[in-house]
């Protein structure tokens, strides 16, 4: 496989996984946890390994372990997944908004703490919101969009996902 077709496959995978999270994140909690684990592992691997194979192995391992653990340790993974999703989302928002060097390292930490707390307090609604936001960020990542255009599309896609998931969630 050439690097171009590999990049295209990666982009398609991000868009498909993102759309699944946007519209089905609550119903497929284990998938949401696995995708967040994979992306988090991948981004971490990029900073640690120069070998793309090792980065993919780490990402796959983190994603699979997270998905499996989500079935057994739901509450712990709710907090950890919320924190990881908050980190990833706020880091991406810092990029989109062009945050300066002083805010760029702080925003992901704020997002991690905020999403971890919110995830624990209001799990069902938080999972819907966080999975829709995370999915929207994944869907848009492969495209070379700029600032306001990306932000508007991000908000619109996340809002449609949140509305869809809230409308289709089972009543307790």
DSSP notation for 80-129 = HHHHHHHHHHHHHHHHHHT--TTTTTHHHHHHHHHHHHHHHHSHHHHHHH
Q: Could you report the per-residue pLDDT of 35-65, keeping only the tens digit for each? A: 989 988 988 898 898 888 899 999 999 999 9
- Contact between 37 and 62 under an 8 Å Cβ cutoff? The reply is yes
Q: Could you report the per-residue pLDDT of 74-127, keeping only the tens digit for each? A: 888 888 888 988 998 898 888 888 877 777 888 899 999 999 998 888 888 888
pLDDT band of 4, cuts 50, 70, 90:
low
Total domain count, the chain: 1
Q: Report the distance separating Cα 84 and Cα 80, nearest Å.
A: 6
Domain that holds residue 133: 3-168
Q: Report the distance separating Cα 19 and Cα 105, nearest Å.
A: 28
The answer to whether the predicted template modeling score (pTM) of the entire model surpasses 0.85 is no
Which element (helix H / strand E) includes 133? helix 123-140
């Amino acid at each position: 496989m050439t690097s171009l077709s590999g990049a295209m496959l990666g982009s398609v995978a991000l868009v498909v996984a993102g759309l699944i999270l946007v519209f089905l994140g609550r119903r497929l909690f284990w998938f949401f946890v696995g995708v967040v684990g994979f992306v988090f592992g991948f981004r971490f691997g990029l900073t640690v390994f120069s070998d793309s194979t090792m980065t993919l192995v780490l990402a796959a391992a983190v994603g699979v372990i997270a998905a499996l653990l989500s079935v057994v340790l739901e509450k712990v993974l709710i907090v950890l997944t919320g924190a990881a999703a908050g980190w990833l989302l706020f880091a991406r928002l810092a990029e989109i908004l062009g945050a300066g060097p002083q805010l760029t390292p702080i925003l992901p930490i704020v997002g991690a703490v905020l999403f971890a707390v919110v995830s624990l307090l209001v799990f069902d609604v938080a999972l819907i919101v966080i999975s829709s936001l995370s999915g929207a960020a994944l869907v848009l990542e492969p495209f070379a969009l700029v600032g306001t255009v990306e932000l508007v599309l991000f908000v619109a896609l996340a809002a449609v996902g949140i509305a869809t998931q809230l409308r289709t969630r089972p009543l307790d």
